[in-house]
Amino acid sequence: VFAAKDEIFCLFKGTLDNLASLRQQYGLAKSANEAVLMIEAYKALRDRAPFPPSHVVSHLSGDFAFVVFDDSASAVFVASV
C-alpha cells in the first residue's frame, strides 16, 4: 500500500491487527489505510517530539514492514516486525 501527503511518502506491506483503534487514536477516517496511518503517526512523532520512534512502533500490532520518507526534512523512518 502506498500513500503520500504533504511531501511525506509511505510504502506499507502487511497488516495491522489494531488498525481500527489506531485510526481512532489519530483521528482518521475509517477509510484510512495503513500507509496513511503511518504518515500521520510519523507527523505526530516529528511534531510532538521528544519521544523515540520506538514509541510509535510499540503501539503497532501485526505483521508488517514500512518505509516513510519525509522529503522536506530528508528523513527516513523504517520498521519491520
Structurally, how many domains does the chain consist of? Answer: 1
Whose grid coordinates read 511531501?
7
pTM listed for this prediction: 0.90
From first to last of its 81 residues, the chain has per-residue pLDDT tens of 999 999 999 999 999 999 999 999 989 999 999 999 999 999 888 887 666 777 788 889 999 999 999 999 999 999 998
Q: Which residue range is the domain that position 24 belongs to? A: 2-80
State the CB neighbour count (10 A cutoff) for residue 11. 16
Which pLDDT does position 52 carry in this prediction?
A: 74
CATH at 68: 3.60.20.10
Provide the 3-class DSSP secondary structure of residue 10: strand
